[in-house]
A = this chain, B = another copy of it.
Amino acid sequence: MRAMACSCATAFLYGSSEGYRPLRELIAQRAGARGIRLDVPELVVTTGSQQAIDLVARVLVDPGDRVAVEAPTYLGALQALRYQGADVVPVPADTKGISVDELEAVVAQHRPKMLYLIPNFANPTGCVLSLGRRKAVLSLATKYRFFVVEDDAYGELYFRDPPPPSLFALANDEERQWVVHISSFSKSLAPGLRLAWISAPPELLRHLVVAKQIGDTHSATLSQLVAFHYLNAGSLEPALSRMRMFYQRQAYALQRAIKVELGDTPFRAEMPEGGMFYWADIPGVDTSAMLEHAVSRGVAYVPGAAFYADNPESTRIRLSFASASAEQIAEGVRRLGDCIREEQERAAQRNVRMEQSS
């Protein structure tokens, strides 16, 4: 409301491709408070982080170029990279994030132009890249000369402790020449505003601004004004505090429901320490094949296979606890349990038939 009342003229006019300057200043200021040195000229507002990823892909990737990603990783990034014709090379990750040894093997062999990763409460795994691995990734980037595109969409949604500093913050001057930092208001403020930002070394940033101009001239001024006034009023920090508690409660509700409803199934998952996703494994169950049954029972999830560039792990599943109520979560997990048990029964029957026919 205030955005429209105070800055009516500005809110509806053309703006600069880099974004509304006062908003960029507040973003840089907040990042500074989190230990991330962001200079305003190094910072461009984008129409959501999807655009930021797409801009990086458009600027850096030529058809056939290799790009390394964690496996599994964010579907929208895989799509944007492939749309530019990238040859996406997956790197295995565990609960501490991308494996540094595997990464070095991949970059030494494939010499990718960039590595895309979500260091904090990753989508879909919820994992956090450890401090040691962050430093190792930066060293590898300098050694093998590839850009690290760090997508920090979820870093502020920690339940208890903040994650380690961002790669952008950890990088020394040399390493910083290889780091692209993306962050977003979609999880912390509102996705419908379509606002994120990107920071990159100066030459790369110039190319990103050209791609941004060509892509949509600039992001919606009205959204930028709303975000500016929200931040300027100091409303974001208390909202984030509430959000952290909210998502933690949601995660606990999901954890409880899993314990109660899925104890007799092979469902395996660890409670995440932030973000909005539960990444699980259901050995013996093809979650893509199960989706239709689940949806017909009114419970939705994303089959794990969607998050792999290749060799999908078909028994993986991503559950979101972002928006359902505790009751809905409990009921959803109950129905999911029914689906899993049915799938197991079907699989058992198939096995019996196969044994009979052999």
Contact = CB atoms under 8 A, between A and B. Distances in A.
A280 to B, nearest CB: 23
A216 B48 contact: yes
A9 to B, nearest CB: 9
Contacts of A186: 14
Nearest to A13: B192
Contacts of A192: 10-15, 220-222
Interface residues of A, number: 39
Nearest to A224: B192
Copies in the complex: 2
A26 interface: no
Contacts of A54: 214-216
A223 B201 CA distance: 31
A216 B13 contact: no
Describe A's contact surface by its main secondary structure. helix
A84 to B, nearest CB: 9
Interface stretch (A75-83, A161-169, A284-292, A342-350): A75-83
Contacts of A194: 47, 216-221
Contact of A220 (B12, B58, B80, B222): B222
Interface string A57-69: 0100000000000
B217 A220 contact: no
21 contacts: A1-B1, A11-B192, A12-B189, A12-B192, A14-B186, A46-B216, A47-B47, A47-B219, A50-B215, A51-B216, A54-B216, A79-B214, A83-B211, A193-B220, A193-B222, A194-B216, A194-B218, A194-B220, A216-B216, A220-B220, A222-B226
